[in-house]
Amino acid sequence: MYKEFGIDDKIIEYGKKIEAKLEERFKAIDEVAEYNQLKVIAAMQKNKVSVECFNTATGYGYDDVGRDTLEHIYADVFHTEDALVRPQITCGTHALALALMSNLRPGDELLSPVGKPYDTLEEVIGIRPSKGSLAEYGITYAQVDLLENGDFDFDGIRNAINDKTKLVTIQRSKGYASRPTLSVERIGQLISFIKEIKPDVICMVDNCYGEFVEKIEPSDVGADMIVGSLIKNPGGGLAPIGGYIAGKKECIENAAYRLTSPGLGKEVGASLGVMQSFYQGLFFAPTVVASALKTAVFAANVFENLGYKVIPNSTESRHDIIQAIEFNKPEGLIKFCEGIQAAAPVDSYVTPEPWDMPGYDDQVIMAAGAFVQGSSIELSADGPLREPYTAFFQGGLTWYHGKLGILMGLQKLCDANLVMDMQL
């Protein structure tokens, strides 16, 4: 069947050789998925999920049993006091902006101890001027970069924390940077250090792309809030929209009052017929994440073996589903994305091109033939057109689709004579 997609015999055989070496890695991924699958089922059983939870609510959404039960489930899965899980949260950036804007006040300071945040948050914070940013409301921002070796700059963080520091934002995934993704253990160490200096500071973790990759989550190691998108890991590829914030009750109340209005909070917000997708997506999420992880590990081994720099490398432990591959020239990034698009079940005939995307400084190319627009738990790749021309690859609802995408990406590079080592 791979030949029917235009993949050469040498690439098919090369993929087989790489896959044969990954049996133990894949087994370890499956063990984590099994643990997390049981964790999700236990939370659903504890909260007595019933068919009535899938009913549609409209209008104000008062007493929406499905919505309220799902939020209890998220709180139990992530071991938090409360959770806000809503289709009215449009994306991951919206969820993060909501968490920040609802828990910061004029005169407060936001600190990032892990360097520059993801591009779309720059306008939320006001690093790049934008209407409605935190900066416009008199909220200041401080940043401490990671050390060159990727370690935390503990001295710099200690010096940056002051009387105004109200909230610390920790981005788990790398975003469009070349730094390592943070493990939950390392996040816990950072939070512990920060809390020793200022116990009442709110520690928020951008958990996007990290849910269910490990057996524990940042909320298990001291995070006051964890934030994510339902069209990434926890939606399991079925959620058509939505985001979540899970954490301390006061933080969630603040977010709910900001999402709707003071005095209303979590009491309103109709689920509009998406509840079954939210529940079933969460149910599938651990195994879908496992497929995405297998795809990422496979990609790292395929391209590292050909001489490309990959982050994480082929043997490192995994703490999110993103795989970065540095192509060092724009043509390499573009051709790889073309291959991912050509492997898609939706819009496979479309050729992705770089464009000026809202929220980004550089032109960005995105490949995603997805059932849900913008869903990055589905097979997708993207990257800014800037050196070192890195493709950030993620997703794959099934391992078999992910494998096809990687082989198609490699085929496009070979066709354009861009592969660094032709010894396949």
| 131-145 confidence digits (pLDDT tens) | 999 999 999 999 999
The confidence score (pLDDT) of residue 145 equals: 96
Residue 190 has pLDDT above 70, yes or no: yes
Where along the chain do the CATH 3.90.1150.60 domains lie? 2-36+283-415
Where along the chain do the CATH 3.40.640.10 domains lie? 56-273
Residue 328, exposed/middle/buried by CB under 10 A (0-12, 13-18, 19+)? Answer: middle
The confidence score (pLDDT) of residue 422 equals: 55
When the pLDDT of each residue in the chain is averaged and rounded to a whole number, the result is 96
Average pLDDT over residues 150-165: 97
Q: Is the CATH number of domain 2-36+283-415 1.20.1600.10?
A: no
What is the distance, to the nearest Å, from the Cα of residue 273 to the centroid of all Cα atoms in its chain? 25
Kindly indicate the confidence band of residue 421, based on its pLDDT and cuts at 50, 70 and 90. Answer: low
Convert the pLDDT of each residue in 224-259 to its tens digit: 999 999 999 999 999 999 999 999 999 999 999 999
Closest C-alpha among 311, 347, 316 to residue 326: 311
The confidence score (pLDDT) of residue 86 equals: 98
Beta bridge pairs of residue 82: 247
The contacts of residue 236 (CB under 8 Å, 6+ apart) are 280, 281, 282, 283, 284, 285, 288, 377
Q: DSSP secondary structure string, 355-387? A: B--TT-SS-EEEE---SSTT-TTSSEEEEESST
pTM score of the predicted model: 0.95
Residue 114 has pLDDT above 70, yes or no: yes
Tell me the fold of 56-273.
Aspartate Aminotransferase; domain 2 (3.40.640)
